[in-house]
């Protein structure tokens, strides 16, 4: 396996508290092209595939024109060709190199569409993620396989906790077929014992109790961040550390974007409140001086 001494030694230090971006994911992706070996580029494709998943769902919902994410492996035209080929029951061009899980997902979606009509897009997202994780867990790299399994387990545990909270049947929402998914299907969280959960899942049960959504999401990302650090401690100059850096960079990018969005919303609300206060003051002045 290739070593990346100069690349990793030259990377700026990042932390979960960063409020400015050192790189964007797109910039770092472009820089990596000239460094990575062919086999490591194939591994990195699994990271970018989550953007392809989102783009595929946008095409299904006909929202791709304004929201297509360019960080994926496939350009818009390729995903459109793939989707419409399956929709029209035509052969998908081999040169597109679409992963098997995407084909499986779209075929299942179109089959259900014929039988049942419109689908719940939240469920579609969960189903596509489950297929993605299952195939990615067979990528041949232990670190990546463990990372995808961690996220599958976290998603399923959150699902069970939400089902319990809202009185829903968890059987309809748990995805995947690994050991932890089976454990959740048979026991749920109320009956889980501490010895059945690893440290990360036990911590996640505590985080799930946090009521404020943004705070809860940040704590979940901090848990993921810690997992990445713990699992790359002895792989300082390997592809695993580059993947971990990219994943951490993505977290910072997301939170910087969210914080900016929330800041803009707060500012707009303050401006509206000030305008309303001015209107109220004017009306009171008119009423007083009639």
CA distance 15 to 225: 9
Residue 121 lies in a domain: yes
Q: Is 55 exposed, middle or buried (0-12, 13-18, 19+ CB in 10 A)?
A: buried
Residue 27 scores a pLDDT above 60:
yes
Please indicate, yes or no, if residue 65 is contained in any of the structural domains. yes
- For residue 128, being part of any structural domain is answered with yes
Least confident residue range of 32-36, 128-132, 213-217, 243-247: 213-217
Residue 160 confidence class, pLDDT cut points 50, 70, 90:
confident
Same domain for 147 and 277, yes or no, is yes
Report pLDDT for 167: 85
pLDDT at residue 214 greater than cutoff 90: no
Boundary-marking domain end, from 86, 112, 136: 136
Whether 162 and 220 map to the same domain: the answer is: yes
pLDDT in tens, 226-242: 999 999 999 999 999 99
163, two tokens: 């089902």
In a domain, 109, yes or no: yes
Burial 145-160 (b: 16+ CB within 10 A, else e): bebbbbbbbbbbbbbb
pLDDT of residue 176: 87
Q: Do 72 and 154 fall into the same domain? A: no
Assess if residue 192 is contained within a domain.
yes
Residues 113 and 167 in one domain: no
The DSSP string of 106-143 is HHHHHHHHHHH-S--HHHHHHHHHHHHHHHHTTSS-HH
Comparing 189 with 3, the larger pLDDT belongs to 3
Q: Residues 143, 232: contact at Cβ < 8 Å?
A: yes
CA distances from 79 to 75, 108, 110 (A): 7, 17, 15
Question: Cα separation of 193 and 223, whole Å?
Answer: 20
Q: Are residues 126 and 234 in the same domain?
A: no
To the nearest 10 degrees (0 to 180), the angle between helices 121-136 and 142-166 is: 150
Q: Is the pLDDT of residue 68 over 60?
A: yes
Token pair for 59: 């095409």
Please give the Cα distance from 226 to 222 (Å, whole number).
Answer: 6
Distance CA 265, CA 270 (A): 9
Where are the extended beta strands (E) located within the chain?
A: none
Q: What is the pLDDT of residues 161-207, one digit of tens each?
A: 888 888 888 888 888 888 889 888 887 555 666 566 778 888 888 88
Is there a single domain that holds both residue 45 and residue 99? yes
- Say what the pLDDT of residue 267 is: 45
More confident of the two residues 256 and 117: 256
Pair 165, 267 in one domain: yes
Percent helix, strand and coil across the chain, each to the nearest 5: 70, 0, 30
Integer CA distances (angstroms), 202 to 12, 157, 192, 199, in order: 32, 10, 10, 5
Q: What are phi and psi of 262, to 5 degrees?
A: -65, -40
The answer to whether 203 touches 223, Cβ cutoff 8 Å, is: yes
Q: What is the pLDDT of residue 113?
A: 79
| Arithmetic mean of pLDDT, 57-85 | 92
For residue 284, the model assigns a pLDDT of: 55
Identify whether residues 153 and 278 lie together within a single domain: yes
Q: 146: Cβ–Cβ under 8 A, 6 or more apart, which residues?
A: 231
Note the pLDDT of residue 248: 95
Let me know if residue 10 belongs to a domain.
Answer: no
Say if residue 129 is exposed, middle or buried (CB neighbours under 10 Å; 0-12, 13-18, 19+). buried
Is 238 strand, coil or helix? Answer: coil
Q: Are 158 and 99 part of one and the same domain?
A: no
Q: Which of 81, 116, 136 is the last residue of a domain?
A: 136
Q: What is the pLDDT of residue 285?
A: 47
Q: Give how many domains the chain has, as a whole number.
A: 2
Confirm whether 117 is domain-assigned: yes
Judged against a pLDDT cut of 80, whether residue 134 lies above it is answered with yes
Residue 277 has pLDDT above 60, yes or no: no
CA 159 vs CA 87, 104, 282: distances in Å: 31, 23, 51
Q: Could you give the percent of the chain with pLDDT greater than 70?
A: 83
Closest residue by Cα to residue 56 from 29, 38, 74:
74
**Whole-number average pLDDT of the chain:** 85
Range of the domain at 257: 140-283
72 and 120 share one domain:
yes
Confidence at residue 87, expressed as pLDDT on a 0 to 100 scale = 93
In the prediction, which pLDDT does 118 show? 61
- The reply to whether 145 and 259 lie within a common domain is yes
pTM comes to 0.83
Among the candidates 136, 164, 188, a domain finishes at 136
Rg (CA), the chain: 23
Q: Does some domain include residue 164?
A: yes
Tell whether 63 and 164 lie within a shared domain.
no
């Amino acid at each position: 396996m290739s070593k990346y001494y100069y690349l990793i030694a030259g990377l700026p230090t990042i932390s979960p508290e960063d409020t400015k971006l050192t790189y964007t994911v797109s910039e770092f992706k472009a820089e990596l092209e000239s460094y990575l070996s062919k086999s490591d580029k194939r591994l990195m494709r699994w990271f970018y595939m989550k953007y392809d998943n989102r783009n595929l769902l946008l095409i299904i919902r006909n929202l791709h024109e304004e929201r297509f994410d360019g960080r994926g492996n496939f350009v818009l035209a390729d995903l459109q060709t793939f989707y419409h080929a399956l929709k029209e029951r035509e052969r998908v061009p081999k040169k597109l190199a679409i992963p098997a899980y995407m084909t499986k997902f779209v075929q299942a979606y179109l089959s259900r569409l014929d039988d049942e009509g419109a689908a719940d897009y939240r469920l579609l997202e969960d189903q596509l993620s489950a297929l993605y994780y299952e195939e990615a867990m067979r990528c041949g790299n232990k670190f990546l396989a463990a990372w995808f399994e961690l996220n599958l387990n976290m998603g399923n545990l959150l699902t069970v906790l939400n089902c319990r909270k809202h009185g829903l049947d968890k059987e309809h929402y748990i995805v995947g077929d690994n050991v932890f998914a089976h454990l959740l299907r048979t026991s749920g969280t109320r009956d889980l014992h501490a010895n059945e959960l690893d440290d990360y899942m036990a911590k996640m049960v505590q985080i799930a109790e946090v009521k404020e959504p943004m705070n809860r999401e940040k704590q979940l990302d901090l848990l993921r961040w810690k997992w990445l650090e713990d699992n790359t401690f002895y792989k300082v100059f390997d592809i695993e550390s580059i993947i971990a850096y990219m994943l951490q960079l993505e977290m910072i990018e997301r939170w910087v974007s969210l914080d900016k969005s929330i800041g803009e919303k707060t500012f707009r609300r303050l401006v509206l409140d000030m305008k309303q206060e001015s209107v109220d003051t004017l009306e009171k002045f008119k009423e007083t001086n009639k």
